[in-house]
Every structure is written in structure tokens, then in C-alpha cells.
Amino acid sequence: MELLQLVIGGLANGCIYGLVALGFVMIYKASEGVNFAQGDMMMLGAFVALGFGNSDQMGLPFGLAVIAAMVLMFGVGWGVERIVVRRIFGQPQFALVILTIALGFVFRFIAGSIWGFTPLVLETPFAGQNLRGGGIVISLADLVTIGVTLALTIALWAFFAFTKVGLAAQAASQNQMAAYIVGVPVMRINSLIWGLSGAVATLAGVLYATRGAIDPNIGLLGIKAFAAAVIGGLGSLPGALVGGLIIGVVEPVAGRYAPGELAKMSPYIIMLIVLVTRPGGLFSQIQMKKV
């Protein structure tokens, strides 16, 4: 029973890792770059929703506040691509890594100077409501998290697999020049994907905030989400979710049954094992390099 309870809590946690990882994967799918600021975008999204929704701030209804925050963060993601990322177009990959790490600090500073560094609680309609059955307690927030994550993963997967824009984004990442020649507006697609990943990050942030207080340093969760994306294989949306769930479940179980600090290390140990044994991740998409 205890194990089952841990697993269910872990699944909900894993969904949040998975959601942040989805943001990584989307940008990776579209531009083969990694946005290390994704965790901080999630944090900023949660704070923006809090700013719109909490009764002592703007006091909008919860649903409206979340949608407003997603729209605003879409703008932030789009703007970041437009103003900063586009300028390093054509530079080596690691330039983007360093750039987005720096951006993450800027986001953290912005959130810290607006909302302060003391933890705040987002007011949600499903706070404190639990479902009981057979000795297991499931909070409504967990159920909502799992449901939203599943729906979003399927929607994004369909977006990349079937829509014209999604396919164009994949073409742009596989061969920028060729995609440009056949008429894919590479730049505009990149901006759009960054905007979308901002909106997804906001959703992840809001779901994270339903489960506890938030402060500007929760963005560090991004590192764990990153491990999730790598375990699934960067570039695979279902893989990101599976990676997130693996980490989410292993962490509390290891915390309960394994000694000491092993629980904190477990996501990274799993990631290293996956990287060594299957360098492309569980849902590998990389073929051997051919000359």
C-alpha cells in the first residue's frame, strides 16, 4: 500500500518533470538547440499565473489567470527567440547552451525582484481536496496534473506528426538550409516553437504550484527535467514523458528504501547509465554518423 502511494505521488511529480522536458524536446526538435532556461521559464510562468490569479494581486479567476499567463509567456518565449537567440543563428551549439544558462539567471532575477525570494502559494480551486479509496489517498491536484500532462503530450505529438507547421519544424531541424530552400520559413517557425515552449512551461509551472509553494529557485528543477528528456532521448515527445515518469517514481521510492543521499543522485545515475548504454536515449532517434 505504502509503495503504491509513493508510486502515485511519484507519477504526478514525474508528470511535471515530463512537462518541463516537453519544452526542452520541442525546442530541440525544431532547432536542435537546448534551452537551459526552460526550468526558469517554468518558474516565471508560475509566478505570472500567481500574479494574475492570487486575490492579493490581480485577482482574476483561476482559469482566466492561467490562460493569460500562458499567453504572456508565449510572448516571452517568442520575444526571447526574436531578440536574443536569433542573433546567434549559425554559431556553434554550445553558444546557445551558455546563452540560455545566462538567460535563466536573468529570469530568476526578474522574478526575484518582482515577487521576492520568500515562498508564495498559488491559490487554486482544487487545493486540499483528496480522493480516498482502498487505503490510498490521491489528491485532486495529482489527478489534474496527470490528466493535463497526458492530454498535452498527445496534442503536441499530434502537432509534430500531422500538422503542416509541426512537420516544417522537424524539417527545419533536420537540415536548416534544405528546409529554407524548399520554402520553410525557418526563422518564423523557430520563434513559434519558442513561444509554444514558453506556454507549455507555464502550464508545468502552474501544475507544480498546485502541489506546494513556489520561489524563484524552483527553476533548478529544470536540471532534473533535463535528465528526463535525455533518458527519453532528446527529440522524442513520448520519450520525455516516460523519462519524467521514471525519474518521478524512482526518486521517492529510492528515498524510502535506499540509503542516504542516493535518492537525490538517482535521476542523474539513471541518466548516466542510459547515456553510456544507449547514447541516444530510450527512444533513440540518432543513427550512426556517416561521412
Decide the pairing of beta strands 130-133 and 136-139: antiparallel
Q: Based on CB atoms, which residue is closest to another protein, 31 or 191?
A: 31
Among residues 11, 22, 103, 250, the one that binds another protein under rule CB under 8 A? 103
Sign of the torsion formed by the C-alpha atoms of 285, 289, 290 and 291: positive
Reduce the DSSP state of residue 272 to 3 states and report it: helix
From 136, 111, 134, select the one nearest 47 (Cα to Cα): 111
What's the CA gap between 175 and 197, in Å, rounded? 21
Between helix 140-162 and helix 2-31 the angle, nearest 10°, is 30
First to last CA, the chain: 55
The C-alpha cell that represents 158 in the structure block? 499530434
What's the CA gap between 213 and 216, in Å, rounded? 11
- 2 touching another protein, by CB under 8 A: no
Q: Amino acid letter at 105?
A: F
| Residue list 26-65, contact with another protein (CB under 8 A) | 31-32, 34
Among residues 59, 93, 130, 147, the one that binds another protein under rule CB under 8 A? 93
- Element of type H or E holding 209: helix 186-209
| Residue list 151-180, contact with another protein (CB under 8 A) | 173-177
Q: Which stretch binds another protein (CB under 8 A): 67-75, 109-117, 198-206, 207-215?
A: 109-117
Nearest approach in angstroms of CB 8 to another protein is 26
Among residues 59, 63, 64, 91, the one that binds another protein under rule CB under 8 A? 91
Binding map of another protein across residues 257-276, x = CB under 8 A, - = no contact: ---xx--xx--xx-xx--xx
Q: How far is CA 104 from the centre of its chain?
A: 14
Among residues 7, 57, 79, 112, the one that binds another protein under rule CB under 8 A? 112
Among residues 1, 55, 56, 92, the one that binds another protein under rule CB under 8 A? 92
| Residue list 186-245, contact with another protein (CB under 8 A) | 223, 226-227, 230, 234-236
From 233, 224, 236, select the one nearest 268 (Cα to Cα): 224
From 13, 32, 9, select the one nearest 218 (Cα to Cα): 13
Q: How far is CA 75 from the centre of its chain?
A: 17
Q: Based on CB atoms, which residue is closest to another protein, 1 or 177?
A: 177
Q: Where are the alpha helices (DSSP H) in 55-92?
A: 62-83
Among residues 4, 102, 137, 151, the one that binds another protein under rule CB under 8 A? 102
Q: Based on CB atoms, which residue is closest to another protein, 56 or 261?
A: 261
Nearest approach in angstroms of CB 209 to another protein is 21
Looking up cell 517554468 gives 42
Nearest approach in angstroms of CB 251 to another protein is 13
| List of residues contacting another protein (CB under 8 A) | 31-32, 34, 84, 87-95, 97-99, 101-103, 105-106, 108-109, 112-113, 117, 173-177, 223, 226-227, 230, 234-236, 260-261, 264-265, 268-269, 271-272, 275-276, 279, 285-291
